[in-house]
Amino acid sequence: MDSISGGAAIISGKDIAAGIRAGLKGQVLKMQEKNGVTPGLAVILVGDNPASKVYVRNKGKACEEVGIKSFQHTLPAETTEEGLLKLIDKLNRSKEVHGILVQLPLPFHINETRVIEAISPIKDVDGFHPYNLGRLVTGNPLLQPCTPYGVIKMLEAAAIDVSGKEAVIVGRSNIVGKPMALMLLRRNATVTVCHSRTRNIEEKIKRGDIVVAALGKPEFVKGEWIKSGAVVIDVGINRLPDGKLVGDVEFGGAAQRASWITPVPGGVGPMTIAMLLHNTVDAARMSLGV
Ligand code: NDP
């Protein structure tokens, strides 16, 4: 799964995600044979944000590949909050739907918090509902946010023990940075979370045995900030004006110093979708009580 780049070995999210998807395919078949149930994922898209359309299409394709039934609901941009909440209510009660995902961002006139909180926590495959985040805080997770969960699976696949290590996370969003901190803390890392107001960020990053960059700024983390032998996880996906995709870490320089590094593309990105499928199969299993 890994090849050497500079000094660092690559953690290939692409390969690990393919392994996860193959495993899920087997689990779906088993569930169909044993329980007569096919896991179902409903994806709701409001409006016509081009990036969101691509994400939704990719999620649908990924579902089909592993045998998950995908239900796509594309609503016009002028959909009211009430209309969206009604659809969620219907999907919460549907026996065919085990996971519900509302593609973010939503149009400004719709309250994102209210929408996320309307999704039944046992169908909340994004893991954004306060119930699921609360379960994560208390160390008893149910459905976990896909991107940081994918990072954990990558660390496990590379047999990287995080216990007792200094983990430095750059970014504190509800979907990546904060749940990432909780997941690493639960695995006994000593966690520092940096954000836009952090002073001397370079000094903080230099301490990291594990550095997770999730801020959305192309190549913000410089190669020379990486401690020798550190593990570098690059969550960022940024498109440069010339069309090239880069992460939040200066890959070449960081790869010279790190022991392990994730590439962009082919790193955390494919893991996020794989964990969405994983959560959907888990949610279907929960609905069966198995
Ligand atoms: P948000 O914009 O929600 O959060 C960015 C975070 O980074 C904020 O906490 C912000 O701090 C912090 N930040 C911004 N600028 C700086 C800075 N100069 N120094 C330190 N901290 C800074 O982003 P997301 O968490 O949604 O996404 C982060 C990145 O990860 C993006 O590139 C996104 O595309 C990518 N992503 C990739 C996914 C994948 O599947 N690989 C999935 C999700 C996201 P503050 O809170 O103070 O504003």
pLDDT per position as a tens digit, 190-234: 999 999 999 999 999 999 999 999 999 999 999 999 999 999 999
Q: What pLDDT is stored for residue 14 in this prediction?
A: 98
In ligand 1, the atom with minimum distance to the C-alpha of 248 is 32
Mean pLDDT score of the chain: 97
Q: How far apart are CA 116 and CA 112, in angstroms?
A: 6
pLDDT along the chain (290 residues), means of 10: 75 98 98 98 96 93 97 97 98 98 97 98 98 97 98 98 98 98 98 98 98 98 98 97 97 98 97 98 95
What is the structure's pLDDT at 143? 98
Is 59 noted as a catalytic residue in this protein?
Answer: yes
Q: What is the pLDDT of residue 1?
A: 54
What pLDDT is stored for residue 3 in this prediction? 61
- Does the annotation mark 124 as catalytic? no
The pTM of this model reads: 0.97
Closest residue CA from atom 31 of ligand 1: 216
Q: Which of 154, 193, 196 to mutate to test the pocket of ligand 1 (most atoms within 8 A of CB)?
A: 196
Q: What's the pLDDT score for residue 290?
A: 81
231 φ/ψ angles, rounded to the nearest 5 degrees = -100, 125
Whether omega for the bond prior to residue 263 falls within 30 degrees of 0, making it cis, is no
Q: What share of the chain is helix, strand, coil (3-state, %, to 5)?
A: 45, 15, 40
| pLDDT given at position 120 | 98
Options 3.40.50.2300, 3.40.50.10860, 3.40.309.10, 3.30.110.40; CATH for 36-120 is 3.40.50.10860
CATH superfamily of 145-267: NAD(P)-binding Rossmann-like Domain (3.40.50.720)
Integer CA distances (angstroms), 60 to 11, 128, 135, in order:
26, 20, 28
Which of 234, 227, 217 shows the shortest CA–CA distance to 10?
234
At residue 235, the pLDDT reads 98
User: Could you state, in order of their start, the residue ranges of all structural domains in the chain?
Assistant: 36-120, 145-267
The reply to whether 36-120 and 145-267 are identical in fold is: yes
Q: Which of 195, 197, 268, 271 gets mutated to test ligand 1 (max ligand atoms within 8 A of its CB)?
A: 195
- Identify the pLDDT of residue 130: 98
